[in-house]
Structure 1
């Protein structure tokens, strides 16, 4: 429980503030850390008594013959989770050092609590990473038994529906580490239903359970504010929800696809359901997409692309498109006729419009 490394840290931190010699003694009464390194390894009878009696033992100069391995000072039991795990001794005249006793003891116990809280966080994060990794593995069947064991260990009630979000970010000027960002995101979400995993450097995975649309959107809104403050830049790709644990991999793949389409929107959070058509185009073999691009490239330019993109966004409504572009209706009709003449595809015909939309998504101008 009280390791030498932790004991050395307590001695260093306490002596830095107190400027008095400090000893840390384990439950067996052995000094395991001290400002006086020659005392390390010695048996400290007074500290052992403090541990056994669970109360302070004060040693005056006149008492030294009664206590083996002791010097004048104050010895206090150290507690963690209501259990005595060792003792801390302050060397010096009791009248001088006793007033510092409670402060020293509190400092030691706080450092121990901080140390084990950090270990607990690291263990929980490692378990979370293993669970998410198992659910997303690309080959073989998922070991749901180990997933359930991990979920039980970290006390996460993992219930459907499920939804994945993939976060890609760059470090801020302050060079904040991915680990600290994971901790901040976990604290922000304030939920024992969600899993946050450091997938790769500068990449986080969020796995929501009980993923009601309202709840997920509210979490992502808070996440956006945090990422704006903590990162240099970021994008979030959100997959669709699913009621099956076996489909969590699909939601993850959709989140990645949404990220790949992020250039078509000004929003940093991209939902797969909103870019599904564009995402599906990316599954068309590259040689077929390149053939389409090569066919239309000679007739393609930025003004044509802007016109078509706005026309399709307005659901082929001429009046609304002209208004958005700030041009006369006849100017728009002229442009659309020009597209039909030069490319052979009529933007007002659904079948042709679909091909032109695919060209926009594959556009060399992007």
Structure 2
């Protein structure tokens, strides 16, 4: 059945090019769209006759009083899939408006068809999103998910990757990424984040595809089979949640240690509050990212090596952990990740 929204869109589109009022009427005679707002919701008797006879009904000025809720004009049937979907009324002397009738009906039928296709696409999109949510939900049964995939005519063969975008505007990212997806790739919104289930391409290919979609941090989980998608989604989510890294688009295999430490830091561990100020924290981060190489760390921080040694000593004195010792450096990194999570 034609909706009031579609009816009013038909009115707006046709009245842009015609100097006459247009009415869109349901087959039961109710006007649901009109250039004259006062007529919406009223009954148009001539439309009922159009429904009964399936023909055009013309009303002259002299005949207006013979029809309930009608004024001079022509009333034409508009069909959809061979059935009467609406009656289109054009107000005006029949001799003046008759030549526009077929054009207006064609426009109305085309717009009704577009509205149906749009609704079908929206239903399909919702089903695809619900299926993606099921695929990454560890509590969903494989049988139910398989049935959904069959309904959508999607066959997930080979390994898949989950990509998580930690962007504060997930709807915008969704609009940007949708045209980039293959037919057998899915997306969904969960807890304010956009997640994709995509083909497990090479690291280079998946980075090129998605690194420019968002200005915020994003991460791709490991390539997995269908039953492992919930775990892959969890890992991609955690990787995208890490404190800011050197790269905006992260691959899980490049930050697997950080993810492990970050997940541990989210548990109830006996880790004291983070004691270092911003300067020493940035120094520690640079030292870690440069793999403990003093010269490279000093270079990226734009400081002398002696200054770096002094700062590392300050980190040791304040935290009680020496970053130049591997085990204590790992402890500092875990503590830093936890403190950044809680801020």
Interval of TM-score (by shorter of Structure 1 and Structure 2): 0.7 to 0.9
Please say if residues 161 and 209 of structure 1, whose CA atoms lie closer than 8 Å, have aligned partners that are also in contact. yes
1:40 maps to which residue? 44
Q: Cα RMSD between the aligned structures? A: 4.0
- Counterparts of 1:131-142 in structure 2, within 5 Å, are 131-139=131-139, 142=140
**Aligned-partner Cα distance in 2 for 1:339–1:21:** 79
Partner of residue 355, structure 1:
331
Deviations 1:239-281 (Å, cap 9, x if unpaired)?
2221x211111111112212321x2326543443333222212
Query: CA contact under 8 A between 1:7 and 1:32: conserved in structure 2?
Result: no
Is residue 2:194 matched to residue 1:204? yes
How many residue pairs end up in the alignment?
331
Q: CA deviation at 1:123?
A: 0.8
TM-score (norm 1): 0.71
* Equivalent residue, structure 1, for 2:284: 308
Change (3 A) 1:222 1:98: farther
> Partner of 1:249 in structure 2?
230
Cα distance in 1, alignment partners of residues 293 and 217 from structure 2: 31
CA contact 2:161–2:199 (8 Å) conserved in 1:
yes
Counterparts of 1:1-366 in structure 2, within 5 Å, are 1-2=1-2, 5=4, 8-9=7-8, 12-13=11-12, 17=16, 18=18, 20-24=20-24, 30-33=28-31, 36=39, 39-40=43-44, 44-46=48-50, 49-50=53-54, 57=56, 59=58, 61=60, 73-80=73-80, 85-139=85-139, 142-171=140-169, 182-186=174-178, 188-200=179-191, 202-224=192-214, 234-242=216-224, 244-261=225-242, 263-265=243-245, 267-284=247-264, 286-291=267-272, 293=273, 297=275, 300-336=276-312, 345-363=321-339
- Superposition deviation, residue 82 in structure 1: 7.3
Structure 1: state its 5+ residue gaps.
Answer: 52-56, 172-177, 229-233
TM-score where L is the length of structure 2: 0.75
Q: CA deviation at 1:167?
A: 2.7
Cα deviation, 1:177-219, whole Å, max 9, x if unaligned, reads: x767644532x3242122122324x432222145454443233
CA distance in 2, matches of 1:90, 1:342: 83
- By how many angstroms is 1:161 displaced? 1.7
Closer, same or farther: CA 256–32 of 1 in aligned 2, 3 Å? same
C-alpha spacing 1:105/1:127, structure 2 compared with 1 (3 Å) = same
Q: Distance in 1 between matches of 2:42 and 2:287?
A: 83
Q: Retained in 2: the 8 A contact 1:59–1:71?
A: no
Answer yes or no: is the 8 Å Cα contact 1:47–1:89 preserved in 2.
no
Query: Conserved in 1, the CA contact under 8 Å of 2:22 and 2:90?
Result: yes
Structure 2 residues not aligned, in runs of 5+:
none
Q: List per-residue Cα deviations over 1:7-52 (Å, max 9, x = no partner).
A: 75357536754464545456xx64342655654366644565556x
| Aligned-partner SS, 2:194 | strand
For residue 207 of structure 1, give the secondary structure of its aligned residue in structure 2: strand
Local SS of the residue matching 2:264: coil
